[in-house]
Amino acid sequence: MGGKLTSKYKGQCQFCGSEWKVGVDILYQKNPKAICSEEACYKEQGGTISEYKPFSKPSGGFTTSGGSFNQSDPTLKMDLPDVEVPDGIKIAAETVLQSFVTAHHMAKSLYPSMDENTHTFSMIRSNLVDKILTVCALSKE
Ligand SMILES: [Zn+2]
């Protein structure tokens, strides 16, 4: 796991030869070792930047992005409680699903060029679901 840090010593990259002074941002990774002030060179050395994913584990080697984002998600085991589900809840769930479908189409028409399998898209969509349900609740009063 590596990332940006402020250099405590001045140094020079043994790969590309770029130098850095004390107190500047450099990229550093312990294992496998990679260090450089240039991001491109750092990545060339096998360095990864994990500052946005503090809980991820190094996947070892070169993993180019392509849907492998969730591979470090911890697996959670959950036992569903054995309870009777009343019709009211089922109707509510149906309403949520209808809102979801509506929100999906809304998000698509709002952002036609956005990939619908992205995290951003699903965030926008779930935001719209909340708004639709809120408006539904308000208009029933
Ligand atoms: Zn370098």
How many Å lie between the centroid of ligand 1 and the Cα of residue 14?
7
d(CA 99, CA 55): 33
How many Å lie between the centroid of ligand 1 and the Cα of residue 53?
24
Q: Once rounded to an integer, what is the mean pLDDT over residues 103-110?
A: 96
**pLDDT of 29-66, one tens digit each?**
988 899 999 999 999 999 998 755 545 455 544 444 44
Give the chain's mean pLDDT: 85
Q: Which amino acid is at 138?
A: L
Residue 19 forms beta bridges with which residues?
A: 12
**Which sequence spans correspond to the domains of the chain?**
3-44, 87-140
**pLDDT of 22-35, one tens digit each?**
999 999 998 889 99
How many Å lie between the centroid of ligand 1 and the Cα of residue 69?
26
How many Å lie between the centroid of ligand 1 and the Cα of residue 41?
5
Q: What is the pLDDT of residue 11?
A: 94
Q: Residue 94: exposed, middle, or buried by beta-carbon count in 10 A (0-12, 13-18, 19+)?
A: exposed
